[in-house]
Amino acid sequence: MQIARGLLDIHNAGKIHKDFHSGNILHHDGSYISDLGMCQPANNEEQSAKQEGIYGVLPYMAPEVLRGYQYTKASDIYSFGIIMNEYISEETPYNNIPHNDALAIKICEGLRPNIFKYTPKLLADLITKCWDAKVENRPITKELYQELEKLYYKQSKYRSQINEYGDKIKLNRTSEKRSNNIQTHPQAIYTSRLLNFKNLPEPVNSVDVIKTTLHSEYLDCQLDELDLNEINQDEENNIE
């Protein structure tokens, strides 16, 4: 909620963060967005010209940015969706695979991080809107903040679903020991760096994610064995 407020303040000031990831969130009597060194005016965000090289943390970067297009307020919203899901799931995105060209391709093809199965549908829907492959489908910052405000403060039916989520987390977190089952890949890089990908595909949404959103009370978007095998195969081909 406070992070969304901070992002709204940045965008209302006519700025874009451009390096928005969980490592730039500070927690002290609240949550605050930090590291505004790359923050720039948003007056050029309609430009479609590609740039040579992009700077950021791959798992949090919108697919259109990975393809070399300018950062926009919408790309900040994409990053917010990744951060929001990370806080709920307590898992850093794509921590079990290399953060390389193969992952960039998969993100453009619709791959997204796991959404924890006890996430309330209302929040899961908001997350998937934020990281939609189509920029125009993502909420603007004001809509995002107002939706979160409504979810947490104004509607008792929403609060009950949030509380239900909290209760299920307490009951299942210890028994599942989800965090202990995951080994961070040595090539999973969570620091900002200069990236330059070539010939990435046009961004699309995963059909599986769309079907799950439409038909499930809770979302559980898994990076399955087939995805992992394809990424590993892509990595081997790139090395060759």
What pTM did the predictor assign?
0.78
Q: What is the pLDDT of residue 189?
A: 95
Name the DSSP letter for residue 197: -
- In the DSSP assignment, the letter for residue 135 is G
* Mean pLDDT across the chain: 78
Q: Provide the pLDDT confidence category of residue 225 given band limits of 50, 70 and 90.
A: very low
Closest CA to 216 of 147, 92, 116, 121: 121
Model pLDDT for residues 59-111, shown as the tens digit of each residue: 999 999 999 998 999 999 999 999 999 998 889 999 999 999 999 999 999 99
pLDDT at 231 over 90: no
Q: Which residue has the higher pLDDT, 145 or 29?
A: 145
What are the boundaries of each domain within the chain?
Answer: 53-176+184-239
Instruction: Answer yes or no: are the C-beta atoms of 53 and 106 closer than 8 Å.
Output: no
With a CB cutoff of 8 Å and minimum separation 6, the contacts of 34 are: 24, 25, 26
Higher pLDDT, 209 or 51: 51
Q: At what angle do helices 121-130 and 156-176 cross, to 10 degrees?
A: 90
Return the closest-CA partner of residue 146 out of 36, 7, 20, 43.
7
> Residue 43 has what pLDDT?
62
pLDDT digits (tens, 9 = 90+) for 128-143: 999 999 999 999 999 9
Cα(63)–Cα(206) distance, integer angstroms? 13
Q: What is the pLDDT of residue 240?
A: 43
Residue with the bigger pLDDT between 185 and 44: it is 185
Helix (H) or strand (E) segment spanning residue 26: strand 25-27
| Number of CB atoms found within 10 A of residue 200's CB | 17
> Residue 213 above 50 pLDDT?
no
| Highest CATH level, class, for 53-176+184-239 | mainly alpha
Average pLDDT of span 123-132: 94
Q: Residue 239 pLDDT > 80, yes or no?
A: no
